[in-house]
Structure 1
Amino acid sequence: MNGDALIAVLTSGVSDRHLAELRRDGISYIFAGDAELDLDRALNILGAEFGIETLLLEGGGTINGAFLGCDLIDDVSLLILPIADGHPGVPTTFDYHLGKARLLRLVSVKPLAGGMLHIRYRVCQADRGNA
């Protein structure tokens, strides 16, 4: 896609038909889990097989929360727009049961055009409580 390789992360339960489609489209894939994805295993395979050391996670609240719940996020980068639009049921940045709250340490706040803010945090390790 746009000159970058695509890698699908799948469970071993995926159909042979889907695998054939991925091969036909030139998309690499890995297996990380049987019935559900093992995110830690996926990241280990991506590192070992593809040399990937850093990922930009641009998911919704569920996938963001799943990665955070597994302690697989180091930094959180938020863009705050000067808009108020409360909608019930709309997912949040981390829309997933984490078990316990994660502390974030402020790294930077940068004003951007149009009144936006770019806020960066470091995720404190769950077992240490600070970074």
Structure 2
Amino acid sequence: MGISYLIAGEEQLDMSVAVEKIGRIFDMDQLILGGGPTLNWSMIREGLCDELSLVLMPTADAQNHTNSLFESHEQFSTPAPYEFKFLDAQPLEDGSVWIRYDVVGEIQAD
């Protein structure tokens, strides 16, 4: 079927190893992460994400218990404040706005 797979980690998934292998095997230096809030946060915490790209759409649903962009899960990562540096914002034809930030890193307490 031509489905590629890779093994990254002994007991559990090691995202650093996975990202390194994807880059080497598929000759890639950029990845787009389309994960949920736990995966997004884990990639930030492990230093595997250098840019945050968001599309803000002019819609709302007012639902309770909706997902956030980032969520820590004790099995994978811990919560911590992070800093992002604004790069660019572009309005899109449908009224959405594409916003990009550099991931600066964890904010250290004094």
Give me the TM-score of the superposition, normalised by structure 2.
0.81
CA distance in 2, matches of 1:87, 1:36: 34
Q: 2:104 aligned with 1:103, yes or no? A: no
- Of the three residues 101, 104, 107, the one matched with 1:124 is 104
80-89 or 53-62: bigger deviation: 80-89
| Larger helix fraction of residues | 1
- Of the three residues 18, 23, 34, the one matched with 1:47 is 23
- Residue pair 1:82, 1:116 contacting (<8 A) in 2 also: yes
- Residue pair 1:71, 1:126 contacting (<8 A) in 2 also: no
Root-mean-square deviation (CA, aligned residues, Å) is: 1.9
Alignment of 1:1-20 (within 5 A): none
Aligned AA for 2:50?
D
Q: Which stretches in structure 1 are left out of the alignment for 5+ residues?
A: 1-24
Q: Which stretches in structure 2 are left out of the alignment for 5+ residues?
A: none
Correspondence for 1:12: none
Q: 2:54 aligned with 1:78, yes or no? A: yes
Q: 2:92 aligned with 1:112, yes or no? A: yes
CA distance in 1, matches of 2:86, 2:5: 36
Identity rate of aligned residues, in percent?
Answer: 32
Give me the TM-score of the superposition, normalised by structure 1.
0.70
- Residue pair 2:84, 2:103 contacting (<8 A) in 1 also: yes
Q: 2:7 aligned with 1:27, yes or no? A: no
Count of residue pairs the alignment pairs up: 104
What is the Cα deviation at residue 117 of structure 1? Answer: 0.9
- Of the three residues 21, 34, 39, the one matched with 1:58 is 34
Alignment of 1:85-96 (within 5 A): 85-96=61-72
Q: Which has the larger radius of gyration?
A: 1
- Residue pair 1:60, 1:93 contacting (<8 A) in 2 also: yes
